[in-house]
Amino acid sequence: MDSKKPSKTNTKKVGLVSKHVTKKNRQLRKKIKDNTLTVGSYLSALEKRKFLELFSEMPVRGTCCKKLGIGTVRLEQEELNDADFALAIKHAKEQGIDTIEAEAIRRARDGFDEPVFYNGEQCGTKRRYSDTLTTLLLKGNRKKYRNIDATNNSEAGDQVTRMSIAELAKLASQRERRGT
């Protein structure tokens, strides 16, 4: 009774994992043999270059890894292993964020065409502007637009924009006593 046999489902899972690991090992060995992957490296030079190109256009690690067919864990291991690659990722991320910011500015300032439909057919377009993007861009670039929210118009006063937890608790207890 002390020794339990593994269930059939556990045996199958272990079998699948070992097949998967063996396949990955074969792929890694082939890359080392073909001289496209150096020993101690998790990604080939080609994979690194393709990742950096894609990441500079769209700075979302998971999506880039999925498109290239590489695992995020392998990417993180390579980033820890190769300081130059880690620095290149930071630069690519900045480029990608700059691209996104430029598009947000364009959409906020110039707007975008939204199709207009009548009876199921497109009959024209309507120019739309994004107030939300404009607000976010102003908050990100101008200090005077930051922290504008409903608390500024409350009884607490216009000067209060951020409070510590203790201050919030104190304010809440004062309001409870007053019945507001």
Would you say 109 and 102 are in contact if contact means Cβ atoms under 8 Å apart?
Answer: no
Domain edges within the chain:
109-178
Q: Tokens standing for 101?
A: 């910011």
Name the residue with tokens 């216009």: 158
Tell me the C-alpha distance between 79 and 86, whole Å: 5
- List pLDDT tens digits, range 4-54: 554 444 333 344 444 445 565 566 556 555 555 444 568 888 999 999 999
What confidence tens digit (pLDDT) does each residue in 121-154 have?
999 999 988 888 888 888 887 778 776 554 444 4
Going 107 to 111 to 112 to 118, the CA torsion angle's sign is: positive
pLDDT given for residue 139 in this prediction:
82
The CA distance from 53 to 4, in Å, is 52
Which is it for the CA torsion 60, 64, 67, 69, positive or negative? negative
